Structure 1
């Protein structure tokens, strides 16, 4: 038996039901249909009036339904607008700090890392798994493009240094905590930034940032996705994983570093590329006039490389030949022939000391030819080219400051072989120096 209270609640529910007008319309139509079929009402005028009334009521119901649909549509549009954010919410910092896994994909991490140093150390110390993918600072072409995409265009070298500092700091944090921190670099420019937090769990949250061209502030829009978002959550997580898998572990291996040497083109300085290539090689061929600066600046490295088994051949201009004077006149605008000769003798003494201190495989020869271009060949012996093979060319300018430099590799074709052949010819025509003498000294002194 229905109680009065339950009856009142049922009545109230019916009165405030969104479909009340349809219930009334259906009931009325049913009643008059039955009455008509039973000839209770056989007055045509009466039936016509009832039908018109029902049609009017139906029209009003349709108007009401359309208004309701319009309100729902407006609500959905507002939800889509609210879905986008102009900046990262404060909750992101807490989510990253408490995450068991965190995948970060970005360009430089210059703004994220300063806010995450402490939380990142604590997360790693308690066993969190962190993966970071940034731009490859050794990729000159990538740095050039990326440097023009930010809110303020900047020099490509400056951008590369910014990324390197972030990468170095990440490695220091990893080593200091002994935590599980993987760092990779991308040879492509990501189209989105990603913070994927606990992405493999039901409580996952992913923040996606659209990388717009030269944004006035924070690149936007930014939006948040969870597993409840279904297809689009899976879509962006899959893209983040693809980018991560395409990344190269940092720091780069020796072979990876060599493969990223700049393409042919003149430069003012080799930067770190020369030292990286020499360190990776097992055989070095060095030609030049004095090579005093090169040997001096790399003396400790040469000791290490020779002790580790690297073979080194060096060709200098014979200081007692007319070639020394020709070289001084042509290539050194502010140095006398005496100065040039003394620099050659000093280099010879350094090479002899390296031979004695390491017992390594080092050979030196003197050329009667006024060498016009210095060459550092790394693993360039004919028929023995490897992934580390490269040539560092230095063009000696005529009585002017600065020497234009160039790096070429085996896949650059005939010119690589051309310069290798030239260096080998200079070597074969030069006179061997006995590094086992008591001491090499300048006969003029």
Structure 2
């Protein structure tokens, strides 16, 4: 936008009137079932502040208006009157959107209660191992096959992972969490002599997975995949919320480019 203004272009922006309480409340319900009125109003105010700053710094032709009506669609128009113009339309549906949760809750506990095999990926999975240590010990003693794929704490990937997944976590802290998980898993392996293996990957894993009974010989109605998606970047000023989702799978997860970790 700055380049457009500095090169003599014209930009016009239309946003909702942030001072209209009824309008903001109605728009908030349509846009997201989890977005509070205050947050929507703040987003609009922040946008207006940014546009004001942009206009001041560029002295360009930037026109901003506020609307008292909620549009059914959002429009981005580039040179709309010309032959090479482009119009992008985003429909603002009234249907409810899926909601991501910050934790899997009791459904994960129920799913792994009698798992025949467990496949877990992530940066460190420190909280998962700590919170389910006794259950993992019982599963291993019962013959459950457990596989972990974690980020190699000695690789450069841990630096990217610490920045990508956890805004307030330093690379040193992330490395220590992985090492602590490895120590806990080694203890589990030693105490149970169960079928537990760990592989390390030199790649900043973007999706953490907990797959239950995903092997073909164990697949059944209780098979499940719990996934956490970690965005590529996060604001350092905000507390991260880890979106989670639940899916069903009967295929074996693939493992590529991993290095076995000695369970000693």
Normalised to the residue count of structure 2, the TM-score between the two structures is 0.58
Query: SS of the residue aligned with 1:356?
Result: helix
Structure 2 contact 116–218 (Cα < 8 Å) conserved: no
2:238 equivalent to 1:407: no
Partner of 1:368: 202
Structure 1 contact 280–388 (Cα < 8 Å) conserved: no
Partner of 2:108: 274
Which structure would you say has the larger Rg? 1
Structure 2 contact 117–218 (Cα < 8 Å) conserved: no
Q: Kindly report the root-mean-square deviation, in angstroms, between the aligned alpha carbons of the 2 structures.
A: 1.7
CA shift for structure 1 position 265 = 5.6
Of residues 326, 331, 335, the one that matches 2:160 is 326
Counting only pairs closer than 5 Å after superposition, residues 296-375 of structure 1 correspond to structure 2 as 296-375=130-209
CA shift for structure 1 position 431 = 0.3
1-side partners of 2:219 and 2:242: how far apart? 27
2-side partners of 1:271 and 1:376: how far apart? 13
Deviations along 1:65-87, whole A, 9 cap, x unmatched?
Answer: xxxxxxxxxxxxxxxxxxxxxxx
Counting only pairs closer than 5 Å after superposition, residues 140-151 of structure 1 correspond to structure 2 as none
Query: SS of the residue aligned with 2:120?
Result: strand
Structure 2 contact 161–204 (Cα < 8 Å) conserved: yes
Structure 1 contact 365–431 (Cα < 8 Å) conserved: yes
2-side partners of 1:382 and 1:266: how far apart? 29
Aligned residue-pair number = 162
Query: SS of the residue aligned with 1:305?
Result: helix
Of residues 429, 433, 437, the one that matches 2:257 is 429
Partner of 2:41: none
Query: SS of the residue aligned with 1:274?
Result: helix
2:157 equivalent to 1:290: no
CA shift for structure 1 position 387 = 1.6
Partner of 1:385: 219
2-side partners of 1:408 and 1:280: how far apart? 18
Give the unaligned 5+ runs of structure 2. 1-97
2-side partners of 1:401 and 1:332: how far apart? 6
2-side partners of 1:405 and 1:273: how far apart? 12
2-side partners of 1:390 and 1:333: how far apart? 29
- Structure with the largest fraction of helix: 1
Query: SS of the residue aligned with 2:113?
Result: helix
Query: SS of the residue aligned with 2:161?
Result: helix
Q: Which has the higher contact order (CA 8 A, sep 6+)?
A: 2
CA shift for structure 1 position 330 = 1.3
Deviations along 1:162-212, whole A, 9 cap, x unmatched?
Answer: xxxxxxxxxxxxxxxxxxxxxxxxxxxxxxxxxxxxxxxxxxxxxxxxxxx
